[in-house]
């Protein structure tokens, strides 16, 4: 269990920041868009292939004043902010997201959907995980469903999740990075046969950017 003691985060006035950086959104619908990333520490979902394992232990990332993070983001020319982690919904995100939104920025969320929502988002990317499936609320809130495919039977898992999102939610299959070469032909054939699905690849890894 992750310690999300409200006193520690003072209603979102402090957050366990791992890193913040300006890059290009590599994945999903907004791929290719310059965006300022805010990555929060702490996740208990435990994906074997997680490419952000260094974020899992929130004790490594003592809470920082949210205003410091906001001020840094506002010095950047980006028009979009991606809030990711770790699992960002572990924390109260109202102050962070509303302040940045009120300054005219688009706020995007990357989440496993395993915790209740807080905050105000212009775009929600839900990436469901078998071992800890999303809450109902996350399916309702998702603009984009991005299922990571590591093996062929993840396609069935993808369909189970697609059956739970709203009609307007975009559907993406994203190959797990270490099996990219092996999974890609299968994903391409699947999307061609089931054109409600789109392909997302982690383009930032090919661009060698964060």
* Interacting residues toward ligand 2KA by CB under 6 A: 23-27, 52, 84, 110, 204, 210
Q: Among 129, 189, 123, which Cα is nearest to 158's?
A: 129
Cα–Cα dist 35/43, whole Å: 23
Given ligand SAM, ligand 2KA, ligand SF4, none, residue 23, with its beta carbon under 5 to 8 Å by kind, binds ligand 2KA
Q: Which residues contact 77 (CB under 8 A, 6 or more apart)?
A: 34
List of E strands, 6-130: 14-15, 17-24, 34-40, 64-65, 80-85, 106-111, 123-126
Q: Which does 210 bind (CB under 5 to 8 A by kind): ligand SF4, ligand SAM, ligand 2KA, none?
A: ligand 2KA
* Tokens standing for residue 66: 């949210």
- Residue 197 in marked binding region: no
Q: How far is Cα 161 from Cα 138, in angstroms, rounded to an integer?
A: 11
Site string for ligand SAM, 36-75 (x = CB under 6 A): -------x-----xxxx-----------------------
Annotated binding site for substrate: 24-26, 39, 84, 210
Question: Contact positions toward ligand SAM, by CB under 6 A?
Answer: 43, 49-52, 84-85, 87, 110-112, 127, 146, 148, 174, 176-177, 202
């Amino acid at each position: 269990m992750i310690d999300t003691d409200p006193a520690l985060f003072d209603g979102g006035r402090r957050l366990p920041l791992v890193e913040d950086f300006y890059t290009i959104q590599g994945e999903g619908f907004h791929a290719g868009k310059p965006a300022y990333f805010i990555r929060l520490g702490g996740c208990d979902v435990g994906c074997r292939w997680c490419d952000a394992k260094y974020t899992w232990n929130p004790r490594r990332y003592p809470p920082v004043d949210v205003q410091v993070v906001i001020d840094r983001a506002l010095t950047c020319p980006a028009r979009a902010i991606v809030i990711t982690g770790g699992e960002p919904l572990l924390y109260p995100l109202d102050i962070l997201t509303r302040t940045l939104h009120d300054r005219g920025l688009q706020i995007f969320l990357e989440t496993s959907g395993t915790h209740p929502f807080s905050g105000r988002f212009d775009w929600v990317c839900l990436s469901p995980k078998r071992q800890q499936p999303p809450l109902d609320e996350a399916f309702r809130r998702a603009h984009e469903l991005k299922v990571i495919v590591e093996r062929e039977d993840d396609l069935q898992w993808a369909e189970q999740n697609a059956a739970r999102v709203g009609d307007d939610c975009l559907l993406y299959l994203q190959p797990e990075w270490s099996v990219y070469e092996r999974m890609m032909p299968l994903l391409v054939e699947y999307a061609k046969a089931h054109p409600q699905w789109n392909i997302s690849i982690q383009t930032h890894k090919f661009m060698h950017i964060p």
